C-alpha cells in the first residue's frame, strides 16, 4: 500500500483587513491548533475527506471565523449558512441558506454519503437534518454580539459588507492523505447585510470547492459572485488536466480572472504531488498549512 507524506491547508477568509499591533494572535493560534490536529489525524491515516470535514467543523465552531456559530448576519438579522464538500472521486454535497445544522459541512457531507442529491437549500435543507441524522441548533445559537454590532454598522452605511474586510472570514480546507487521495470543503455565512436567500460561491460545487485525484483540491474565499462567474475552483482543475498547467500557475491565473471581473479574494489548493498553493489578490488571508509532512505554519498577511 502506498504511504504518501500528507499535505493540507486551511483558511479563515481573505481580505484587506487592517494591520494590527497584536497581529491577530488569537486567529493565528486557532489556525495553528486546528492545523496541528488535522495534520496529526492525516498522519495517523485519516482519509482526506474526513480530514477536511474535521477541519471545517473545528473552524465552524470557532467564533473568530465567519462560519457556523459566529457567522455574519443578513438583512433580517439571521445567519444563513452555506457549505460544500467534495472528494477526489467526484462525490460531493452542498447546502445553501441553511439556518439550523450545527455544522453545515456535516449536512453537506451527509448529502455526499446519501448520494441522492448534491445540493439542498433553505428550509428543506434544514428539514433534511432529521432524516440524515445531523445535529441541529435553534437559529439563535449562531448569532453572537459582535456580528449584531457589525450588522448595525453596515445598516448605518446602507452597504453590503464582505466578511473579509474585517478580520473574520469564510473557512475551508484541502488535504492529501497517506493514500494520495484529495478532498476539499468550504463553509461560510456570506456577507454582512446580504439579501436573505443570497448564495455565494461557497455553496456551489465548482465555484468555491473542487477536488479531483488526478489534479488538485481547491477551496476559495472572497467575493462570491466573482468566483461563481469564473467557475474558479473547477477551472483550476481543467487547466491542470487539459492544459497541463501546474497548480500554482493555474491558481494565480484564476485569481487574476476574479480581479478582472471586479472581485477579490484568495484560495488554498493542494495538487496530486502534495504541493500547496495559497494565492490571493488581497492584503491577507488567514491560513495554516503543511506541505509533505513539514511542520504546520500559519500566517495572515502576504
Residue 258: CATH number of its domain: 3.60.20.30
Q: Is residue 282 part of a domain?
A: yes
pLDDT at 9 over 60: yes
* 203, pLDDT greater than 60: yes
pLDDT in the model for residue 167:
44
Least confident of 23-32, 266-275, 279-288: 23-32
Query: Catalytic residue positions?
Result: 170
Mean pLDDT of 10-39: 91
Q: Is 45 within any annotated ligand binding site?
A: no
Quick check: 184 and 210 in contact, CB under 8 A?
A: yes
- 263 annotated to bind ligand: no
- Residues 196-214 have a mean pLDDT of 97
Is 208 one of the annotated binding-site residues? no
- Number of independent structural domains in the chain: 1
Residue 2 lies in a domain: no
CA gyration radius, the chain: 17
Q: What pLDDT, on a 0 to 100 scale, did the predictor assign at position 20?
A: 74
The least confident of 12-16, 128-132, 234-238, 241-245 is 12-16
Sort strands 171-176 and 182-188 into parallel, antiparallel or unpaired. antiparallel
Contact by Cβ (8 Å): 298, 35: yes
Q: Give the pLDDT of residue 125.
A: 98
Report if residue 204 sits inside a domain. yes
Average pLDDT of the segment spanning 127-139: 98
Q: Is residue 274 part of a domain?
A: yes
Which residues touch 150 (CB under 8 Å, ≥6 apart)? 72, 73, 161, 166, 192
Q: Which helix (H) or strand (E) holds 154?
A: helix 145-157
Mean pLDDT of the chain: 94
Q: What is the mean pLDDT of residues 11-38?
A: 90
Total residue count of the chain as it appears in this document: 302
> What pLDDT, on the 0 to 100 scale, is given for residue 18?
81
300 is in an annotated binding site: no
Phi-psi region of 100 (alpha: psi -120 to 50; beta: other; left: phi over 0): alpha
pLDDT of residue 146: 87
Closest CA to 263 of 208, 182, 186, 183: 208
| Annotated binding-site residue? 282 | no
What is the tens place of the pLDDT at every residue in 84-96?
Answer: 999 999 999 999 9
pLDDT of residue 158: 72
To the question of whether residue 133 is assigned a binding role by annotation, the answer is no
Grid-cell match 466578511, residue found: 163
Phi/psi for 195 (5° steps) reads -65, 140
Question: pLDDT over 90 for what percent of the chain?
Answer: 85
pLDDT for position 181: 99
273 in a domain, yes or no? Answer: yes
Q: What is the pLDDT of residues 146-191, one digit of tens each?
A: 888 988 888 888 766 554 455 446 999 999 999 999 999 999 999 8
Q: Is the dihedral of CA 123, 198, 71, 106 positive or negative?
A: positive
Residue 78 lies in a domain: yes
- For residue 70, say whether it is annotated as part of any ligand binding site: no
- Which residues on neighbouring strands pair with residue 183, listed in sequence order? 87, 175
Owning domain of residue 104: 7-301
Residue 106 has pLDDT above 90, yes or no: yes
User: Annotation-wise, does 199 bind a ligand?
Assistant: yes
In a domain, 30, yes or no: yes
Average pLDDT for residues 242-271, to the nearest whole number?
98
Between 160-164, 223-227, 285-289, the lowest mean confidence (pLDDT) is in: 160-164
Q: What is the C-alpha separation between 90 and 35, in angstroms, rounded?
A: 25
Tens-digit pLDDT profile for residues 41-76: 999 999 999 999 999 999 999 998 999 999 999 999
Query: Residue 1 domain-assigned?
Result: no
Phi, psi of 107 (to 5 degrees): -70, -40
Amino acid at each position: 500500500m502506498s504511504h504518501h507524506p500528507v499535505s493540507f491547508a486551511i483558511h479563515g477568509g481573505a481580505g484587506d483587513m487592517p494591520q494590527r499591533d497584536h497581529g491577530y494572535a488569537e486567529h493565528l493560534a486557532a489556525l495553528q491548533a486546528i492545523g496541528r490536529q488535522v495534520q496529526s489525524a492525516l498522519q495517523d491515516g485519516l482519509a482526506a475527506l474526513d480530514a477536511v470535514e474535521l477541519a471545517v467543523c473545528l473552524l465552524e465552531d470557532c467564533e473568530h471565523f465567519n462560519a457556523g456559530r459566529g457567522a455574519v448576519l443578513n438583512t433580517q438579522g439571521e445567519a444563513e449558512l452555506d457549505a460544500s464538500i467534495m472528494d477526489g472521486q467526484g462525490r460531493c454535497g452542498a447546502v445553501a441558506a441553511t439556518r439550523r445544522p450545527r455544522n453545515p459541512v456535516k449536512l453537506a457531507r451527509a448529502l455526499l454519503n446519501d448520494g441522492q442529491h448534491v445540493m439542498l437549500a433553505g428550509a428543506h435543507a434544514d428539514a433534511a437534518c432529521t432524516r440524515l441524522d445531523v445535529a441541529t441548533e435553534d437559529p439563535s445559537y449562531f448569532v453572537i454580539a459582535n456580528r449584531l454590532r457589525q450588522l448595525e454598522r453596515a445598516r448605518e452605511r446602507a452597504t453590503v459588507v464582505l466578511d473579509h474586510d474585517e478580520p473574520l472570514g469564510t473557512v475551508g480546507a484541502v488535504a492529501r492523505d497517506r493514500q494520495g487521495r484529495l478532498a476539499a470543503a468550504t463553509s461560510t455565512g456570506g456577507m454582512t447585510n446580504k439579501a436573505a436567500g443570497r448564495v455565494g460561491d461557497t455553496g456551489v460545487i465548482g465555484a468555491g470547492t473542487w477536488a479531483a485525484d488526478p489534479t488538485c483540491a481547491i477551496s476559495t474565499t472572497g467575493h462570491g459572485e466573482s468566483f461563481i462567474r469564473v467557475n474558479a475552483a473547477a477551472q483550476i482543475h481543467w487547466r491542470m488536466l487539459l492544459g497541463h498547467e501546474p497548480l500554482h500557475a493555474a491558481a494565480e491565473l484564476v485569481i487574476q480572472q476574479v480581479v478582472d471581473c471586479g472581485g477579490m479574494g484568495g484560495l488554498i489548493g493542494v495538487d496530486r504531488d502534495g504541493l500547496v498553493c495559497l494565492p490571493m489578490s488581497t492584503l491577507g488571508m488567514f491560513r495554516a498549512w503543511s506541505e509533505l509532512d513539514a511542520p504546520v505554519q500559519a500566517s495572515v498577511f502576504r
